[in-house]
Amino acid sequence: MRLSPLPLTPDRDIPAPLLTELTALYAANRDFHALSGDFPDPDDIRPEQVAAELADELAQPDAEVLLARSQGHLVGVVVTLGRHPDPADPDPWIGLLMVDAAVHRQGHGRAMAELVEDRFRAEGRTAVRLAVLDGNDRALAFWTALGYEVIDHRADRGRGRPCAVLRKELSGGSRG
């Protein structure tokens, strides 16, 4: 698996073929979008909505959108924040890790999380945080199985949705 930054055109648009792939990936995760409320109709996610969502992510300081490909196929997307808007929070964040539903439970999510952790370790970061929306029990189980621990419960900054905040200490050295 390979993680690479989201490529943009000189006008800062997502190339059309890639936007089609991303829209399919987002649409495949209907249950998550029904819970999150990120899109008006989780049964009808449109390319322009995905493009706007990713543009909003990239507008944040130190944000990065990473694409996960396995055997040439887009299997996931990760959004990271190098710094949280709260100056008291020293850790980078995983804002979103989404795997194409067609390939759930094949180890792609774990591999993506490990690659992101390795990237943060290489930057000298010592921990990483993320938030899981209340009611997303599968995601909470996934992250805790990877060693993340719940450290807080609060509303998310963007939409005020209740969530659990998780944190994982990053041990020295990257995985091989």
Q: How do residues 26-74 score in pLDDT, each as one tens digit?
A: 999 999 999 998 898 999 999 999 999 999 999 888 999 999 999 989 9
Alpha-carbon gap, residue 22 to 130, rounded angstroms: 22
Tell me the one-letter amino acid at 37. G
DSSP designation for 101: G
Question: Tokens at residue 133, please?
Answer: 């929306």
Q: How do residues 106-165 score in pLDDT, each as one tens digit?
A: 999 999 999 999 999 999 999 999 999 999 999 999 999 999 999 999 998 778 899 999
- Is 151 exposed, middle or buried, given 0-12, 13-18 or 19+ CB atoms closer than 10 A? exposed
Evaluate whether the domain defined by 2-169 bears CATH number 3.90.226.10. Answer: no
Residue 41: phi and psi, rounded to 5, are -135, 105
Domain ranges of the chain: 2-169
Let me know: does 35 contact 133? Beta carbons within 8 Å: yes
Global model pTM greater than 0.75? yes
